[in-house]
Amino acid sequence: MPFRIILCCFLLACTAGCATTAPVNKPVEGYFKQGEELYKNKKYEDAIVQWKKAKENSAISPTLNAMADLRIADAQFETKNYIEAGAAYESFTRFHPHNPNAPYALFQLAMCNYNQITGIDRDQTPVINAVTTFENFLKQYPSSEYAPAAREKLVDCVIKQVQYETYVGRFYLRFGKYQASAKRLEECLARYPLAPNLDEALLYLEKAYFLSGDKEKGRLTFNRLQLRFPTSKHLKEAEGYLKKYS
């Protein structure tokens, strides 16, 4: 069931429950409703304040407390506080693994990692964490409504990982460390065999082999590139290396 539908059902149930219970529960329902209104108006920090007030109420139920935690995480996500939001989503999945919103929270945790990804010349920890979390999500919830988006983001993360490994391979190549470059690029090809952007890695692997004096492996790598990526934009440059060095 979509998260918004679950939330609406929850708030309706909360409202109905407060109409028949002791007055002490009324402030909790008020805090929640006010938090939702503020959230809709993109006043996320104010919404967090209201949900925290709801959590502080001594009469709050475990279910309501869990929902408050999740909504606070959502507001932090919207303000791009991905580290805090990620910690909140992770806490929710740990303490409420059977909650109907657990798949949503785990997907959002993966998105927190994904949204912290920067460039190929920066720390790659967010990419690694995103891949791990998306894979974990798809393993647990392969039929979830969020699964298609998770698969799409996972492919994008793999592309970024290949870009990074190619970047490192090129770095070694630029400074004449041909064997180190070849080793790094071969490991990349082995680790991500189905990645759609391996053609650039093959290009620089070919060059690394030729410059290291291994003409046979250089020619074989060119053949790999030509067979796997016959329309690659890197093929012309690879042909140039083949003519120059073989």
Instruction: Select from 103, 111, 29, 52 the least CA-distant residue to 78.
Output: 111
Q: What is the pLDDT of residue 29?
A: 82
Q: What is the pLDDT of residue 34?
A: 94
* Positions of the chain with pLDDT lower than 70, given as ranges: 1-26, 58
Q: Which amino acid is at 239?
A: E
Rounded to an integer, what distance in angstroms lies between the CA atom of residue 219 and that of residue 25? 75
Fold of 1-116: 1.25.40
Residue extents of the structural domains in the chain: 1-116
Q: What is the pLDDT of residue 7?
A: 53
Q: What is the pLDDT of residue 149?
A: 98
Please, what is the end-to-end C-alpha distance for the chain in angstroms? 60
pTM equals: 0.84
Q: What is the pLDDT of residue 237?
A: 98
Q: What is the pLDDT of residues 59-76, one digit of tens each?
A: 778 888 899 999 999 999
Q: What is the pLDDT of residue 35?
A: 95
